[in-house]
Structure 1
Amino acid sequence: MEIETLRDVLDWTRKFHEKLSQCLSNSVDKNSDERARMVMAYLADHEQALAKVIRGFESTGDEDALNTWFNEYVNKTPVLQKVHSKTPFANLNASQIMEVVADQHQQAIELYRYLARRADIDSAQEMLEALLSLEEHEIMRMTQSTNRFSDM
């Protein structure tokens, strides 16, 4: 997928969350560790919810912000360096699963941070900062919630 505008970044982010949710969901029944299955099911639902939030940004975002061009910046920095669809979630324990998911989110966070620093339009910078804040808070929330599974 070629990313040229902020709208494309949002589209990529939504698809990223949907694909991660699908990968987790597809592995739930294949993992023999009950705690890992619970974590995967929780994370799959959470990723689906994040995809819906991103869809909201896409549909209600400021048109000037959504049409801001970022292709020269994105072409210099790979969007996602590790592909989650190749991760063997079925063979991982709960903490390893969370580590992989956190790494995936961290890459998205780094992209938002990178683009927010380079945004020329205030509305685009504000949207990217909102996305950055959303991803940072959601990864903290997911980590805390999955840590509770360890307490069980």
Structure 2
Amino acid sequence: MSYATVKDVLDYSRTLHEHARNLYQQLRDQTQRERVDMMLKLLAEHEDALAKTMTSTSESTAKRVLDEWHQFEPGSISEAISSCRECHPDMTVEELVEIALKIDDYLITLYRHMVSEATSEASRQLFENLVQLEETEKIRTVRAALSVNDW
């Protein structure tokens, strides 16, 4: 098992969100379907907001928390978004949502692991907050997908 600081975990999460955002933006450039384009736009904005949240979280978290070491096996970003290998411009909205939810679930699992491994109350609270954030964003994504028929 590898070790990483809390800052490393936040940077990994930010990078993952950025990669997902870039993927959605690339698919937007290629799709001809209006509903799919709108869902891709929403997902890209979702990932962009989360990437920015990771940056601001790093900036607002105490240095002593950011410097804490934890067991963390990051794996590659491509493994985290492995379902995106199946991406193509003619995907359905449902397929896109499935990919987005897999990314959210991956990070929720990661953050829950970090909560269980936390050595201080401050880092435990940080990762609990990130679990809540990802769960809230997951619900928003599902709601947006359910409302796609209204578009």
CA distance in 1, matches of 2:135, 2:88: 23
Shift of 1:84: 5.6
Cα RMSD (Å): 1.9
Instruction: Report the counterpart of residue 116 of structure 1 in structure 2.
Output: 115
Shift of 1:86: 2.7
Instruction: Report the counterpart of residue 4 of structure 2 in structure 1.
Output: 4
> Are 2:133 and 1:149 aligned?
no
CA distance in 1, matches of 2:49, 2:140: 13
Shift of 1:126: 0.6
Is the partner of 1:4 in helix, strand or coil? strand
CA distance in 1, matches of 2:86, 2:48: 18
- Per the normalisation by structure 1, the TM-score is 0.88
Instruction: Report the counterpart of residue 42 of structure 2 in structure 1.
Output: 42
> Are 2:68 and 1:68 aligned?
yes
Residues 27-81 of structure 1, C-alpha deviation per residue, up to 9 Å, x if partnerless? 11312322111100111012111111111101010222211111xx323x74754
- Per the normalisation by structure 2, the TM-score is 0.88
Q: How does 1:85-104 map to 2 (within 5 A)?
A: 86-104=85-103
Contact 1:24/1:89 (<8 A) preserved: no
The unaligned stretches of length 5 or more in structure 2 are none
Instruction: Report the counterpart of residue 58 of structure 1 in structure 2.
Output: 58
The unaligned stretches of length 5 or more in structure 1 are none
Residue type of the alignment partner of 1:38: M
Shift of 1:25: 0.5
Q: What percent identity do the matched residue pairs reach?
A: 24
Shift of 1:4: 0.8
Q: How does 1:17-28 map to 2 (within 5 A)?
A: 17-28=17-28
What is the count of residue pairs matched by the alignment? 148
CA distance in 1, matches of 2:61, 2:88: 34
Contact 1:25/1:41 (<8 A) preserved: yes
Moved over 3 A (4+): 77-82
Shift of 1:85: 5.3
CA distance in 1, matches of 2:86, 2:41: 16
